[in-house]
Amino acid sequence: MGFSLEIRQKVMLASARHCCVCHRYKGVKIEVHHIKQEADGGPNTFENAIALCFDCHSDAGHFNDRHPRGTKFSKKELIVARDIWYETIKSKPSIEKLIVSNKIHASYFVLHSFEILESVIKNDFSSVNKYRNIVYLSSNAISNQWINLLKTHELDYEYNIDQNVIIELGQFSTLNDYCQKYDNVQIIDRAGVDYPYYIAKREIKWTEIDSILPNSFLREISKSGIEPKYFCTSVLKENGVTCGDAVPTLAFTEYLEIAPISFIFLGITNASKEPLKLNSLTTSDAGGIFNLPKFNLLPYEMVLMPISTAINLSSIDNNGIVINHIDGDRGQDFSRILNSYNFNDKYVKFFEKKINPRTIIFNDNEGEYEIEIHEFDFNNIYSINSYWECGSCPHLFLVDNSGQQRYSRELLVSSSFKKGSDSFVVPKDIYQIVIRELEDEITYIDKIIVNELIVVESNSLGKGEKIVVNVKPFDKVKIKGHYEPFFKTNPKLNDLWYRNEMIKLSNNVVNNKIDGHC
């Protein structure tokens, strides 16, 4: 007679269609087995039933006692295995299928470069397939949004090599003119860590941006759902000779700084030795199921699925472990971020269109499986980043009597590959100056003269190195020397953003007492 439909359904629910012995999710490839065989008087009851996959059912039922090989499942063992698994399902009702980690590997990839994103959209995966045989792109609404960002960015700026993160808005004769025009101006504390390269800032609205500078790219990013105060900030820079840039007509220039955009993918890799067929991706969003490409994914091939867009995530690379570095006019890193501390995600914001992956459903030759995906983790991602090599000159920092450092300005700005000099008067309340090299270049210091007395002679600075000199307020300091960048590039507005990032990082390190000199 066999089990009734009601008993079978009850067993399927209690086991979540997993085999009670091997715990594999088997979908329709599962059977209800009599623990005590029906031929031996076993009843067709729920208590005498156990869910077994084809393999375990075969091991339990087709066994010759007279010629044993291996160890047969005993009735007691089957009952204990069943009861333990039923309790597992009760305690974790959200578990529907077994995690199978040796067949599918899921990881997150982050791109910060428009250039690399454009190549990926065009199915050029040379930047991301270093550790995969073949990479495929799964298109969706988020990738369509990225295509629109690239199109509008190229329309306004003629290229997609770099994100345009700094845009000039206007010039002013005096700081007072700027403050009078806008009532929400904040003077910047240059000992702070947000905008040490600039002297003032203000919040700006999407509507105001559109009225000052009609721009299709800015209109596109305004659709992100992110408030403009998180995405854009107006900053004011005091003009002067700086690293090859043209000197503006007026004394101050207002720039719009746009938070750098990052593009996040879920990478799904076949980590087995056999072909697998991807079915779908489930998400933590209500009713969220996305179809995956319906073809055989061969061993160590990967599908990239766009899942979200974020701002202020590019600094995640500062402490990443670099797997491979390519030298050239522009730097490019392929890194796995495995930080020993939690990344500060205070300023990271995500676009409204977002996919929150939960599980992947796939098939092999044995059955259907569903594996859980770990949540997006700032400390465990792969990052591919292109960055500027702007050849920035050395920087001057001022330290007061309490040890607090603040950024002052660039030094030897006209002395790239040629000898030059720079001079300044030490401000009041300053008792130490620090000359820092923050970029991939060498600064050669011939002399540092304080009040006509030579205090440093014939010194050089590589990236990350510094010279510290004790001074007094109103001392006259003269510096003679030059710097030689490793990479020669044409300075662009983006370099202003990059310099601020370098100085911001340096300020943050020193003012947290990591630097032994301050």
Q: Is the pLDDT of residue 461 over 60?
A: yes
What average pLDDT does range 186-210 have in this prediction?
87
Which range, of 40-49, 234-243, 450-459, averages the lowest pLDDT?
234-243
- Kind of pairing between the strands at 395-400 and 430-436: antiparallel
DSSP-derived secondary structure for 238-264 = E---BTTBPPPSSSEEEEEEEPPEEEE
Contact, 494 vs 162, CB < 8 A? yes
pLDDT digits (tens, 9 = 90+) for 398-416: 999 888 888 888 888 878 8
What average pLDDT does range 485-514 have in this prediction?
62
Q: What percent of the chain has pLDDT over 70?
A: 80
The sign of the dihedral angle between the CA atoms of 365, 367, 372, 376 is positive
Whole-angstrom distance, CA of residue 175 vs CA of residue 187: 10
What pLDDT does 149 receive? 95
Whole-angstrom distance, CA of residue 90 vs CA of residue 14: 8
Whole-angstrom distance, CA of residue 86 vs CA of residue 91: 9
Q: Is the pLDDT of residue 373 over 90?
A: no
Direct distance between the N- and C-terminal alpha carbons of the chain, in angstroms, rounded to an integer? 86
- Cα angle 333, 338, 342 (rounded to 5 degrees) comes to 120
Q: How confident is residue 53, by pLDDT bands cut at 50, 70 and 90?
A: confident
Any idea where the domains of the chain sit in the sequence?
Answer: 5-91, 104-142+262-387, 166-258, 395-511
Q: Residue 319 is inside which H or E element, if any? A: none
* Architecture of the domain defined by 5-91: Orthogonal Bundle (1.10)
pLDDT digits (tens, 9 = 90+) for 95-131: 544 444 578 888 898 888 888 888 888 877 766 665 5
What pLDDT does 286 receive? 64
Which DSSP state fits 44? S
